A and B are shown apart, each in its own frame.
Chain A
């Protein structure tokens, strides 16, 4: 671990972290600001929901969540937050070493007296810190929004904490998978198509699995590993899916280390 690289990496990403944190906060706050309306007209809401086809309701998890309760509404919102978090974490993962190689600054960094392992560890920890900043902001804005808009309705704070605690693992999954893919493909020319593909791909898989009740798809998408509907209904994680998630993350990270320390840094061409 090199403090120098850590600081540099963190500062390079700071602007992006601020923008993501503000966007996610705005999403959470604005969505919650219309919650009192939903909660007041429960009957109308249920009527509205019945007009949607059941497949669509399943895709958004609306068949299992009660939008009129604070926690239910939060769970519904949380899926959109997860999509944002997935894109952000994938961005950082895919870009961790590939941006440096594309912009050809890798030569500069890797001719300094640091080992490859030190470089990737410092980069990893810096990115993890960045993701944690967004995570912390999300915790803050969630409880702030709930307190501002619940209008005296009671809610189970432990469930909200449970759901929010899943964020770090959720982020790490996208980060590590993005990183290992970026090292497996020959060259990542642009990060965005990859990260949008990974984030929305896994989201769509999760949504489809709700419609067809296809069990296999649940295994590979974090949107199922950390399905807010499941967590809220059961008040706990789906342990086997969470273990699977952590296993994929750890394997991706280990393979990334292995590949990066052996990697040939492409020259200017």
Chain B
């Protein structure tokens, strides 16, 4: 049985679309990436699973319990880190964390201390005096201090500097090793690829694919840009190349397949500059699903 089961879940805000007929499952112990561009319905799905909003139709189960009827029981073992964190401005960090811990009926002091040491959080400052990144740290500690069994992370890395991002990812991996299931929503493909074992892709409110991260990577396009003198227009016209554009001695195209093909080809021409990079998610959506 999947730990999160979403079946035919649909949410409309009045007439505007949230998500339409979304179905997927998340297995216990995995890190499930949930990717899609802004406005695709990632947050809507998470908010439905947390019963912050109510479905128009369809249902979702977490730990085998229905989210609309058993919300309080489910939330006992859930940690949530929203993309933008907001807390009671007048409170001190320590008081907010204690308030948060007081809902769970078991002593979280030890874990709270460990986590805030890892995230280098100053406990005695007022929330209103914290920078955005520091508020985010409060969010991380707050979401993890009660040792939840399922973690919902909604674009969690925004506002964290690279060092903190790495610490955060290490933390998530460590939690996962202890058996915690992670639901990781993001629009940054790179971080999903680094962390997740399986991904669901959502676009315009619909799931377009759920697959193993490896399969996705194999199918993935690379974005290549080559500059060089005397570059011919059809220089890179070989199988696997698409959407080729040549302009003023610079060719850019998408490539799908064995990247060595491109490297070999590059060896035969004189280039002044080369970039090979991940396409943005929007670019994938534009070309991958044509």
Please name the residue on chain B nearest to A111 by beta carbon. B80
Q: Are A113 and B103 interface neighbours, CB within 8 A?
A: yes
Q: Of B68-76, B194-202, B282-290, which stretch is located at the interface?
A: B68-76
Interface residues of A in 104-150 (CB under 8 A from B): 104-108, 110-115, 118
The answer to whether A268 has its CB under 8 Å from any CB of chain B is: yes
Q: Of B85-93, B183-191, B229-237, B273-281, which stretch is located at the interface?
A: B85-93
Q: Within the complex, what minimum Cβ distance (angstroms) separates A109 from chain B? A: 9
The answer to whether A204 has its CB under 8 Å from any CB of chain B is: no
Interface residues of B in 48-66 (CB under 8 A from A): 50-54
The answer to whether A262 has its CB under 8 Å from any CB of chain B is: yes
Q: Are B103 and A112 interface neighbours, CB within 8 A?
A: yes
Q: Within the complex, what minimum Cβ distance (angstroms) separates A29 from chain B? A: 30
- Once bound together, how far apart are the Cα atoms of A28 and B90, in whole Å? 32
CB contacts (< 8 Å) of B54 on chain A: these are 262, 264
- Once bound together, how far apart are the Cα atoms of A265 and B53, in whole Å? 6
The answer to whether A103 has its CB under 8 Å from any CB of chain B is: yes
The answer to whether A4 has its CB under 8 Å from any CB of chain B is: yes
The answer to whether A12 has its CB under 8 Å from any CB of chain B is: yes
Please name the residue on chain A nearest to B70 by beta carbon. A115
CB contacts (< 8 Å) of A104 on chain B: these are 84, 86
CB contacts (< 8 Å) of A114 on chain B: these are 72, 75, 103
Q: Are B87 and A115 interface neighbours, CB within 8 A?
A: no
CB contacts (< 8 Å) of A4 on chain B: these are 99, 102-103
Q: CB < 8 Å: which of B52, B76, B100 contacts A110?
A: B52
- Once bound together, how far apart are the Cα atoms of A104 and B13, in whole Å? 19
Interface residues of B in 32-55 (CB under 8 A from A): 43, 47, 50-54
The answer to whether A158 has its CB under 8 Å from any CB of chain B is: no
The answer to whether A267 has its CB under 8 Å from any CB of chain B is: yes
- Once bound together, how far apart are the Cα atoms of A106 and B87, in whole Å? 9
**Counting chain A CB atoms within 10 Å of each CB, which of B43, B82, B90 scores highest?**
B82
Per-residue interface assignment for chain B, residues 150 to 178, with 1 indicating a CB less than 8 Å from any chain A CB and 0 otherwise: 00000000000000000000000000000
The answer to whether B104 has its CB under 8 Å from any CB of chain A is: yes
Q: Are B84 and A268 interface neighbours, CB within 8 A?
A: yes
CB contacts (< 8 Å) of A113 on chain B: these are 72-73, 75-76, 103-104
- Once bound together, how far apart are the Cα atoms of A108 and B142, in whole Å? 9
Q: Within the complex, what minimum Cβ distance (angstroms) separates A104 from chain B? A: 4
The answer to whether A189 has its CB under 8 Å from any CB of chain B is: no
Q: Within the complex, what minimum Cβ distance (angstroms) separates A96 from chain B? A: 15
| Contacts A264-B54, A265-B53 given; does A115 touch B102 at CB 8 Å | no
Q: Are B75 and A111 interface neighbours, CB within 8 A?
A: yes
The answer to whether A8 has its CB under 8 Å from any CB of chain B is: yes
Tell me the interface secondary structure of chain A in the complex: loop
The answer to whether B83 has its CB under 8 Å from any CB of chain A is: yes
Q: Are B72 and A108 interface neighbours, CB within 8 A?
A: no
Q: Are A105 and B52 interface neighbours, CB within 8 A?
A: no
Please name the residue on chain A nearest to B53 by beta carbon. A264
Q: CB < 8 Å: which of B52, B86, B99, B142 contacts A8?
A: B99
| Contacts A113-B72, A264-B53 given; does A108 touch B47 at CB 8 Å | no
| Contacts A4-B103, A112-B103, A113-B75 given; does A103 touch B43 at CB 8 Å | no
Q: CB < 8 Å: which of B86, B88, B100 contacts A112?
A: B100
Please name the residue on chain A nearest to B78 by beta carbon. A111
Q: Are B47 and A265 interface neighbours, CB within 8 A?
A: yes
Q: CB < 8 Å: which of A111, A262, A264, A267 contacts B43?
A: A267
CB contacts (< 8 Å) of B102 on chain A: these are 4
Q: Within the complex, what minimum Cβ distance (angstroms) separates A28 from chain B? A: 30
- Once bound together, how far apart are the Cα atoms of A268 and B80, in whole Å? 15
**Counting chain B CB atoms within 10 Å of each CB, which of A4, A112, A262 scores highest?**
A112
CB contacts (< 8 Å) of A265 on chain B: these are 47, 52-53
- Once bound together, how far apart are the Cα atoms of A2 and B84, in whole Å? 26
Q: Within the complex, what minimum Cβ distance (angstroms) separates B83 from chain A? A: 7
CB contacts (< 8 Å) of A105 on chain B: these are 86-88
Q: CB < 8 Å: which of B71, B73, B87, B90 contacts A108?
A: B87
Q: Are A115 and B72 interface neighbours, CB within 8 A?
A: yes
Q: Are B88 and A12 interface neighbours, CB within 8 A?
A: yes
- Once bound together, how far apart are the Cα atoms of A121 and B180, in whole Å? 33
CB contacts (< 8 Å) of B99 on chain A: these are 4, 8
- Once bound together, how far apart are the Cα atoms of A8 and B103, in whole Å? 12
Q: Within the complex, what minimum Cβ distance (angstroms) separates B187 from chain A? A: 15
Q: CB < 8 Å: which of B13, B82, B103, B104 contacts A107?
A: B82
CB contacts (< 8 Å) of A108 on chain B: these are 86-87, 100, 142
Q: Within the complex, what minimum Cβ distance (angstroms) separates A232 from chain B? A: 42
Given contacts A114-B103, A268-B83, 5 further A-B pairs with CB under 8 A are: A107-B86, A108-B100, A264-B52, A265-B53, A267-B52
**Could you write out 15 A-B pairs with CB less than 8 Å apart?**
A12-B90, A106-B52, A107-B52, A107-B82, A108-B87, A110-B52, A111-B52, A111-B75, A112-B75, A114-B103, A262-B54, A264-B13, A264-B54, A268-B83, A268-B86
- 7 smallest A-B Cβ distances: which pairs? A104-B86, A113-B76, A264-B53, A112-B103, A113-B75, A265-B52, A111-B80
